[in-house]
Structure 1
Amino acid sequence: MHSVAILVLDGVVPFDMAAPMQVFDWTRLPDGRSPYRVRLCAERPEVAADGGFTLRVDRGLETLADADTVIVPGRTDETPLSPAVVAALRQAAEAGTRIASVCVGAFVLAEAGLLDGLRATTHWVAAGRLAHAFPLVDVEPDVLYVDNGRILTSAGAAAALDMCLHMIRRDLGSAVAADAARMSVMPLEREGGQAQFIVHDHPPVPRGSALEPLLEWIEDNLAHEVTLGALAARAGMSERTFSRRFREQTGTTPLQWLLRARVRRAQYLLENSDHTIERIARQAGFGSPTAFRERFRKVVGTTPYAYRSSFHGRRAATAGVS
């Protein structure tokens, strides 16, 4: 039987902990036997969880030494790890134990030095912070999970299910993993590839910037052809001067800003309308459906169809509209 230890730290996010517990607990071999034994462990018997309640954990850090797989959920407590936790994680890694993180649990692995020189991911909201805090880590913000062999990281809690199913498939084959996916009511592989659905916000513009009226004009004219020359002329500058000042104030180029604005318009229409792909391509200013699909996939990481399938009606549902 494969032993899975879930390391519970102060500030643990309950759902980040529950997702891997569920998928491993529900996995069954063809003869009905359970191939995994899941155990919670912590440095102390009582752990303060996110949400204001306390968890009681029966097993200590010594459980990591006996585990085949260690899962580190995300946590909201940003205090430094204790030397005991760092030592236990490092010893497990040195022993060849498979170690995986959920969401911002990647920060725990990074703090323990387990991600140095490796590719890693975390929730896209925290990806920039992870890259800044741990420059030796090659952060990939636009994937669901990263498998380095013995060290794995995943994005949000839902992406942790994808990562766990991937590990089950590695351990026991596709048939067992597919059955575990059905029990978790999710596909074994998501349509649209292994990409996080990232909201691509525009870089901030300083308040009172001379660019504000121009950026508002861009938003109002996305359906029309907008060239660098037209933007520069509207700003009363040469293309070279305009491009330099635009980058200084926004951190990106005018055409990159325009592309993100068009993608955001397309995301909104995919979520909130039943317009055809062809019509959305025109409304967002992509010209042709082919160009729309190619550029949307490059920025968002999935196809317009897959994005609509996942998020159509999201805002109405959030607002309680039937």
Structure 2
Amino acid sequence: MKKTTTPHIVPIDQYKRTKIIASVGPATDSYEQIRALIKAGANGLRLNFSHGTHDERKRQIKWIRDASKELDKPVAIIQDLQGPKIRLGDFEGTITVESGQSFRLQYGADYDKTGIIPIQYDLSKKMKRGERLYLFDGRVQMTITSIKDGVIHAQAENDGYLLKRKGINIPDTDLGGDVITEKDKADLAFGSTQDIDFVAQSFVQTADDLRAMRQLMRSLNMDARLIVKFETRSAVEHMDAIVREADMVMVARGDLAFETRPESVPIVQRQLVGLGRKYARPTIIATQMLASMTESPEPTRAEVSDVATAVIIGADCVMLSDETNVGK
């Protein structure tokens, strides 16, 4: 191959063509849309098991395989497990948030009757005054002012709004416990009947979490490859051992930014790509690659540069999330 060099950066003749992973969601929940994703160049399709039913996923898997066969293009199917992700509970419509406003949050609360924001995990037993809550993927930040009788009292630090079942990040709090939830076990059992190609494990803390997942997959006779998602501070601290234990590595920059700091993400991204190359583990760069295209037909200049950087540093795949999940 003729050597090609980008001036002042790096030789790129050693890099193969970077693959594209797209997420399937409400905006692409049809055979026609899935076929369009594959035709446009998707090499893998991600199914987010934080949402949806097994019947819905079974239908989507059939569409993927049918479209792949029709287009004569092989496409990997990725089962992305929810893991111990903490989420808001159910409520109607949106909750408007204003900076300085006080809120109450409680496990299993009924918002319509009590005005208390429901959450799907009892954080009152784990958190304490002064610790931070990032709600709705960081769109709203709150600080705990007190906890009493299982109710968390918190003050909003910025304006925003909340929607049901959106994620909560707690960067100051260590929940401990098993990262493989009962929901993950049920979803994995379903995946074992669908001949899934890859399983993505969420919120991994140490290499032992991957070993436990492999043992569970073996008990289900699954031969899928295991992707580790780097989303926690603990995973970053144990990155060498975790990368060696995994089959593939995903830099899940959304949750990672809240668990560490946004300014540390580019450094961690480069470190993980480097370890992936060292141990021959393919790497995926994910989250906000082309986030503006959720609404706009064109990416920003910064997003184009971000994607180019991922390719130049040697990432094997880039992944689209909301862009194809809920984008217009």
**Both structures adopt the same fold (TM-score exceeding 0.5):** no
> Hey, which of these two has a bigger chunk of strand by percent?
2
Greater Cα radius of gyration, structure 1 or 2: 1
> TM-score band (shorter)?
under 0.3
> Hey, which of these two has a bigger chunk of helix by percent?
1
When normalised by structure 2's length, the TM-score is 0.27
Higher relative contact order (CA 8 A, sep 6+): 2
